[in-house]
Structure 1
Amino acid sequence: MTRHRRHLLVALSAASVLALAGCATPAGSGAPAGASDAPPGASLGSLWPAPPEGDVVAQGTVMDVGGEVELCLGAVAESYPPQCGGIPITNWTWDGIDGSETSGDTTWGAYAVQGTYDGEEFTVTQPPIMLALYDPMMPEDPTGGEPGAGDEQTLLAIQEDLPDALDEAYLSSYPENGWLWVDVVWDDGTWQDAADADYGDDTVVIRSALRPVDG
């Protein structure tokens, strides 16, 4: 985890935040997409999903500080202007876009954004939609409403290891109904399979903030 990342988490923990944990740019573009020699119980920390092949869509806060634009998918500090760290955005313009605020050299707004993601940067390919006007279909519950097998102590122990295992792709997590729900920047199923291998297929749910446009 980078020094910048650690400082951001400290700052967010001292402020009132809108989510459970901070977000920043994943450092995974150069990481391997798979590691078959991972020791038992360490698959999740040894694998990295390949970037999506087509367009993806994400919901978050677009933060522009002095011309450096990022898409924040996790926590946003309730300062004024707000603060967060996220994925660098290219091909972004505020021209003709409603729903933004500006204070000093900071402009921000909450949007659904469509584009491509190469593991490091998000390139906008379609005009963004204000989140207040965005009405996506709710994803299916991967648990089917069934309780998981994890007890509170086990889930909290897994949760404690996630920031190191997933590095800056980790956004947030929480235990509920025997499951540990884990939000990450992007997963194509690689991390879900790894979590199932490490903890069983009835304990951890990995949710990707970036979702393929075609389903």
Structure 2
Amino acid sequence: MSRLRVLRISAAALLGGMLALAGCAASPGSAPPSSSDAPAGQSLGSLAPAPPEAEVVGEGTVIDVDGTVEVCLGPVAESYPPQCSGLPLRGWAWDDADGAESSGSVRWGQYALTGTYDGSALTLTGAPVPLALYDPPARTDPTGGEPGSTPESELTVIQDELPDRLGSTGYLASYPDDGRVWVDVLWDDGTLQRAADDDYGVGVVIVRSALRPAAL
């Protein structure tokens, strides 16, 4: 199974039906306060990363419905117009964005965004870059390409738990692959990865942050 990535939806692809997703998706929300007193085996959902102090970069679909603008950093339905539940986006202006499409009261496009994240919304600090023109930096594979050893049946159980365990801390999607569960979240500074290691064992669950420091 290929790793789930941010969907770059073309106009032709938007005419299709709903995209079949390997993992379940959930709407990102504000994170609960950080805590170091999580019960044993319950670190995920009890611990939450603090919002980043510096600028971050994310790639996703910006959707404007009747003037309400959100950026979807996870799965997007290939309906026409597209649909998703995303992160509120502040400071957005379509005059600054090339490559947008529209249908009725909905306007959308796929962009790389630079801004600040306060735990509840992304505020733009730079001009959006159409994804078709964006060259993202390569991400390091934390596994070094080594497969995991957790049985598929156990991985499925873990994956089924993750939406509820991580929903309040920005869960986006997850899937099992190569002996591990890969989970995409809105933001992680390492807190959620450490919590997953505590709960399931080191390297069983790999947490990937959709927002990443802009300085990297």
State the TM-score, normalizing by the size of structure 1: 0.88
CA offsets per residue over residues 128-149 of structure 1, 9 Å max, x none? 0000111111101000011113
For residues 23 and 93 of structure 1, do their structure 2 counterparts lie closer, same or farther at Cα, with a shift above 3 Å needed? farther
* Cα gap change, 1:51 to 1:161, in 2 (>3 Å): same
Q: Relative to structure 1, is the Cα distance of residues 86 and 62 closer, same or farther in structure 2, using a 3 angstrom cutoff?
A: same
Alignment gaps of 5+ in structure 2: 1-16
Does the residue aligned with 2:116 lie in a helix, a strand or coil?
Answer: strand
**Is 1:40 equivalent to 2:40 in the alignment?**
yes
Contact 1:23–1:73 (CA under 8 A) maintained in structure 2: no
How far the C-alpha of 1:35 sits from its partner, in A, is 3.2
Whichever residue aligns with residue 17 of structure 1, its letter is L
Q: Which runs of 4+ in 1 moved over 6 A?
A: none
- Residues 25 and 163, structure 2, Cα contact 8 Å, conserved in 1: no
Give runs of aligned pairs for residues 48-87 of structure 1, distance below 5 A. 48-87=48-87
CA contact under 8 A between 1:25 and 1:88: conserved in structure 2?
Answer: no
Contact 1:34/1:46 (8 A) holds in 2: yes
Pairing 1:190–2:191 present: yes
Residue aligning to 1:208: 209
What do you get for the CA RMSD once the two structures are aligned? 1.3
Contact 1:18 1:78 in 2 (8 A): no
Distance 1:96 1:124, change over 3 A: closer
Corresponding letter in the other structure for 2:190: G
1:83, 1:176 → 2: CA distance? 27
- Residue segments in structure 1 that go unaligned for 5+ positions in a row: 1-14
The separation in 2 between residues aligned to 1:202 and 1:179, in whole angstroms, is 7
The percentage of counterpart residues that share the same residue type is 55
Q: Contact (CA 8 Å) 1:22, 1:76: kept in 2 or not?
A: no
Matched position secondary structure for 1:95: helix
User: Which residue is equivalent to 2:106?
Assistant: 106
The 8 Å contact of residues 98 and 130 in structure 2, kept in 1 or not, is answered as yes
What letter matches 1:212 in structure 2? P
Shift of 1:18: 6.6
1:138-196: CA deviations, max 9, x gaps? Answer: 10100001111311111111111111111151111111111110000000000000001
Give, in whole Å, the separation in 2 of the partners of 1:54 and 1:181.
26
Report deviation, 1:21: 3.5
Task: Tell me if structure 2 keeps the 8 A contact 1:23–1:171.
Answer: yes
Give 3-state SS (helix, strand or coil) of 1:123's partner: strand
1:165-184 equivalences under 5 Å are 165-168=165-168, 169-184=170-185
2:19 aligns to what?
17
Whether the 8 Å contact between 2:180 and 2:206 is mirrored in structure 1 is yes
Indicate the SS of the match to 2:113.
strand
